[in-house]
Structure 1
Amino acid sequence: MGARIHITKLAAADRQLRAAMRMYFAEEDELAIHTVAYAAYGLLRDLKAERGLDEAADTYLASIFYVVRDYRRGALPMHLANDPDFMAAVAALADQIPIGPDSKYRDFSATASPEAVRHFWRQRGKIANFLKHADRDPAEALVEDDLDNLVLLLQAYSAYRDLARTACTNEGTVFELYIGSSDFPIREPESTVGKMCSMLASHPESERRSVCMQLIRELNAQEIDP
């Protein structure tokens, strides 16, 4: 009898998250993507809590930190920088928080009230709960436009990076490139990452996900056949 393979919770979340990313880039069913991605996110949330980390508070912090830091750097994407109402709100926020252009995310922390945490998970888990339960309101319907798989994948991937000490997976690397390709202008366009983001950005948005899927296939094939 062969050796039995034991899978840790983090390894399970890693596999689920990688699968959800592949499903997203392959443009598979959005509900199926959400189910797999949220399963990974739930594991990662609990693993962070076990280490004394609050995923809700971390998400709130990240949403503020990177916007304010990029505002200080003058590096916000053009569609945000050209929105006067958004910029006024960010400027007011920046005046209250000591985040500078060279600040590091790891140097900051945040806490969230129990009410804010409950609100976060109630909103974040709304679709997952709809897909999981049919006994409470079997006639309930879901508004398909409420699906936000890209945001869910971003949050799950960020939570994974908070926990993992290993290098990025191929799926994670391509996911980061995909996110970077949406920046305008592309950040550090002469760097290797910047050139890859520019390559993706040169494709119409309707084709970009399929290009990412092909990149993942090629990278994974290289691991199998070095």
Structure 2
Amino acid sequence: MEISVRLGGVPLMLSCAHNEYMLMYMPFACCDMPLARVGVSAAEVERLLPLYEEGSTAPYVEHMELCTRACDALLPFERAIFHGVAFIWRGQAWLLTALSGTGKTTHYIQWKRQYGSEISIINGDKPVLDFSEEGISVHPSPWRGKENMGSMRSAPLGGIIMLKQGQENAMRRVEPKEVVAELFMQFLFTRSTPLDVRRVCALEERLLQTVPVWQLVNRGDEASARLCHDTLAKEMYNA
């Protein structure tokens, strides 16, 4: 099965051996001529299956591996798939990023509970970043995470919040050199060629030159969301 989808404005052809996740791709379907083809062989899925969490199925592995290969295909067009929760607040997109299991979704839910009328989701796990002359914008993708949070909205990127778990809530602006290694790991590409690594390094440099980054050490409670909200409001909008 094949479906042509548009990710961050770039049409790609996805080749799927399984149809279990086809409904995830349908909102992104387009009729444009694809600029690249993306697929995962059955042999590759079988080889990678043991590396996934116990109980994972071949359709799930194919779905997840299509993500990193789609990112590879997007890199020549200055787009990339990024690991994080993306939501819109005050007309800009904000990225919550961290290692898996650190509490990105929990933190977003705390925001939603307290500031629900102010925010809207873009993507709950793997949004697309578009690097253009006008700036960096954030777009949805079919890879929405376990909670399946997402929409078809897009917005210009306002900043990045890097989450860490801790016993106390504390938030501070960080310098690029403090987060360059960790941030690089959030770009979801296969790392299969030196050229792609250089491309991502160039995109990360633009990212760090364009938008501010904060570190939020947090307990995953309501107070951590209030601290994040109020810090951004003060530092970005003097509110």
TM-score of the aligned structures, taking structure 2 as reference length: 0.24
Name which structure has the greater RCO, CA cutoff 8 Å, separation 6+. 1
Larger radius of gyration: 1
Structure holding more helix per residue: 1
